[in-house]
Structure 1
Amino acid sequence: MNHSAPLSPRTLGQPSPVRRLVLTTAQLRDRGMTTTDVNERCRPGGPWQRLLPGVYLLRPGPPSPEERLHAALLYTARPPSPRTAPRVPAQPGSAEPAAPRPCADALITGLAALALHGLACAPPLPSLDTIDVLVPRLRRLRSTGCVRIVRTTVLPEPVFVAGVPVAAVPRALADAVAELTDAEAVRGLLTEAVRRGLCEPRAVVEELTAARLLDRPHVIDAVDTLVAEGRAIAENRLYRMVFENGLPDPLWNVALRLPGGPDLGAVDAYWPDQAVALELDTRPLLRGAEAGRSEQARRRERLERLGVTVVHVTPRGLRDAMAQQATLVRTALMAANDRDPAAYVVVRPR
């Protein structure tokens, strides 16, 4: 077996032979094996080996990445209750009964999860000495062998990648960054995840904030790069929204002010004939988010008092519902004829 081969849905899915080769003490007992039988087979030079407490590999040689992942999940998964998931005893050599997905008890997270999600900047699974597993805070588990326990108050919903329950990309990033001190590695992981559309910058920043990682200088620097990357991606989507949906060309990235009066702030797009302004909301990603939101609200209020309609869009809305965002803009443009004329404002490049 090639232990450095990439993981695939076939090898990690339910029919995988890994599930017949990596078993727990309880599963072996159901097959008629006693503790003495297991210990005899796991002796030095024997045909089996103990991977983790209560988890065994029924063959000699180094475990494959798939076997290590499955062993980690078996070690951390809560044993099924006899009342809710009775086990049917099976004789040695009989077919493997279908096992429930360990979706509610433990999730692969950190670098191992990012490798499963396909991030090129994440180390490949065979090179990882440790597999991070996310479990509820009150579970009585300890880190051992290749497994590092990561505790959380609320276990998030799993994302299944090739049959393996893993944490979503933003949470996996936060758990990986918590263990990394290399600024370039942190920056590479965050920017790749956003650039490839695996998550939005806002979700990453929220997870980093919850993990209390934004007081680390190398993480703050990476977040600044992430915000700039996310802003550029959102602006490209905004250009696509206008051109692909047949909207009239606006004036891009302009600042507005009253003639001889104060500045009214900058907007991402402005249709002067209809007095419609569009704001792309990436400001909450920045430090000082509350002050930024307050200023944004005040600017919007000033513009609307002058008769300028402000359309508010988010990067996520552009990604997941671009046509709906275009409809909002088109509706605002069409409604211009039914409104009182807006005050005259001066438009200048930002």
Structure 2
Amino acid sequence: MTNTPLSPRPLSGSSDVRRRVLSAAQLRAQGVSAAEAGAHCRAGGPWQQVLPGVYLLRPGQPTSEERLHAALLYAERRPGGEGEAMITGLAALALYRFAAAPPLPALDHIDVLVPRTRRLRSTGCVRIVRASADPPVAREVTGLPVAPVARALADAVPHLADAHTVRRLLTEAVRKGYCEPSAVVREFNRARLLTRPHVVDAVDALLADGRALAEERLYEMVRVHQLPDPLWNVDLRLPGGPHLGGVDAYWPDQAVAVELDTRSSRRDDDESTWTAYTRKREHLERLGVTVVHLTPRKLRDALEQQAVVVRTALMAAGDRAPAAYLVVLPR
């Protein structure tokens, strides 16, 4: 008996990465036993074992794509487990083509999100991340299952000590329309990241940037869809009476107000914030003011539709009883 490695058994479509990176189970299905696979992986052999139970059917350094496929195969090593694992963290952000994320070849680890019941350990280049009771729905990016951006950010940030990088990633996520600030804050709350000073600073900047972006879209809606010019960012009061609250846009002749809902759900008092908002809206409506509630997502995804909503409210003003006289002050 000789120790010379066996020649690899030809596999159809071996030029494709899915054929170059195979699990032990996939090899068995093609008639390659564990002993044969081990022989192919001996020193100087044509194959290599890149992760437990995962083989690369060629020598040399694995490419980024091969590492990603190998990580997913490692995380899905069980009957019926296929499709549960997804790429997350910085590797996911690199797949989304974030300019602020390091390129895939520069990453020492690939984070893989798996169900919390899985008994898997981090090994080699794979860092296992366990999902919560309600795992996210993966998105397909370059043919791979990838965590949504907000979840990928929450899995990446714990391994980043540079506040500037964290802020750049969060800003890019919002500015490029991957997610709303509220979605990021929800994931960060879940991951208990808002106790870290550099993360809190980045989130504060994100919320301010998200608010500014929503206001820009509101200005764009009025301009592009030729709505009458409102009074921007004003406070409303009863003559000689109490402060009724601020609104983002107000048409005094029609008594129509627009308010952006940019609540972040960052703090535990979010319920009280919503209660205060509802109380203000109900008070204004009792005084005859129509309050149009817009969210950043609505302005991003359906700007024309939101313009129709506001225009309809303005046109309906003549059919309503006159509103109470209000004092309008700059905010």
Measured after TM superposition, the shift of residue 28 of structure 1 is 1.8
Which letter does structure 2 place at the counterpart of 1:43? R
State how 1:257-276 maps to structure 2 within 5 Å.
257-276=237-256
Query: Which residue number in structure 1 is paired with residue 37 of structure 2?
Result: 38
After superposition, the Cα gap between the structure-2 partners of 1:286 and 1:25, relative to the gap in structure 1 and judged at 3 Å, is closer
Aligned pair 1:249/2:248, yes or no?
Answer: no
Which letter does structure 1 place at the counterpart of 2:272? A
CA RMSD of aligned residues (A): 1.8
Query: Which residue number in structure 2 is paired with residue 123 of structure 1?
Result: 102
After superposition, the Cα gap between the structure-2 partners of 1:31 and 1:206, relative to the gap in structure 1 and judged at 3 Å, is same
Query: Which residue number in structure 2 is paired with residue 94 of structure 1?
Result: none
Query: Which residue number in structure 2 is paired with residue 63 of structure 1?
Result: 62
State how 1:5-24 maps to structure 2 within 5 Å.
17-24=16-23
Q: Secondary structure at the match of 1:268?
A: strand
User: Greater shift after overlay, 26-35 or 251-260?
Assistant: 26-35
Q: Secondary structure at the match of 2:328?
A: strand
Measured after TM superposition, the shift of residue 40 of structure 1 is 1.8
Which letter does structure 1 place at the counterpart of 2:312? T
User: Structure 2: which 5+ residue stretches go unaligned?
Assistant: 1-12
Query: Which residue number in structure 1 is paired with residue 270 of structure 2?
Result: 289
Query: Which residue number in structure 1 is paired with residue 193 of structure 2?
Result: 213
Q: Secondary structure at the match of 1:139?
A: coil
Which letter does structure 1 place at the counterpart of 2:16? P
Q: 1:137 aligns with which of 100, 104, 116?
A: 116
The number of aligned residues is 317
Q: 1:146 aligns with which of 90, 103, 125?
A: 125
Q: 1:158 aligns with which of 138, 142, 155?
A: 138
Cα deviation code 1:68-115 (max 9, x no counterpart): 00000111114445xxxxxxxxxxxxxxxxxxx943x10000000010
| 8 A contact 1:65–1:125 mirrored in 2 | yes
Structure 2 distance, partners of 1:246, 1:261, is 34
Measured after TM superposition, the shift of residue 182 of structure 1 is 1.9
Q: Secondary structure at the match of 1:214?
A: coil
Cα deviation code 1:184-215 (max 9, x no counterpart): 12111111110111111111111111112112
Q: 1:109 aligns with which of 72, 83, 88?
A: 88
Structure 2 distance, partners of 1:173, 1:131, is 14
TM-score under structure 2 length normalisation: 0.91
Which letter does structure 2 place at the counterpart of 1:120? A
Structure 1 distance, partners of 2:52, 2:161, is 30
Which letter does structure 2 place at the counterpart of 1:213? L
Q: 1:279 aligns with which of 230, 238, 259?
A: 259
User: Structure 1: which 5+ residue stretches go unaligned?
Assistant: 1-13, 82-100
After superposition, the Cα gap between the structure-2 partners of 1:139 and 1:277, relative to the gap in structure 1 and judged at 3 Å, is same
Query: Which residue number in structure 1 is paired with residue 322 of structure 2?
Result: 341
Structure 2 distance, partners of 1:344, 1:154, is 49
Cα deviation code 1:5-62 (max 9, x no counterpart): xxxxxxxxx9961112111112222232222222222112222111000101111111
Cα deviation code 1:136-170 (max 9, x no counterpart): 01112111011011011333211000101000101
Q: 2:203 aligns with which of 194, 214, 223?
A: 223
Structure 1 distance, partners of 2:15, 2:301, is 34
Measured after TM superposition, the shift of residue 260 of structure 1 is 2.0
After superposition, the Cα gap between the structure-2 partners of 1:172 and 1:16, relative to the gap in structure 1 and judged at 3 Å, is farther
Structure 1 distance, partners of 2:259, 2:310, is 11
Structure 2 distance, partners of 1:16, 1:341, is 74
| 8 A contact 1:49–1:59 mirrored in 2 | yes
Measured after TM superposition, the shift of residue 308 of structure 1 is 1.1
Structure 2 distance, partners of 1:262, 1:26, is 72
| 8 A contact 1:227–1:285 mirrored in 2 | no
Structure 2 distance, partners of 1:140, 1:332, is 56
TM-score under structure 1 length normalisation: 0.86
Cα deviation code 1:222-249 (max 9, x no counterpart): 1100101101111111111112222111
Query: Which residue number in structure 2 is paired with residue 183 of structure 1?
Result: 163
After superposition, the Cα gap between the structure-2 partners of 1:155 and 1:294, relative to the gap in structure 1 and judged at 3 Å, is closer
Which letter does structure 1 place at the counterpart of 2:278? A
Which letter does structure 2 place at the counterpart of 1:195? R
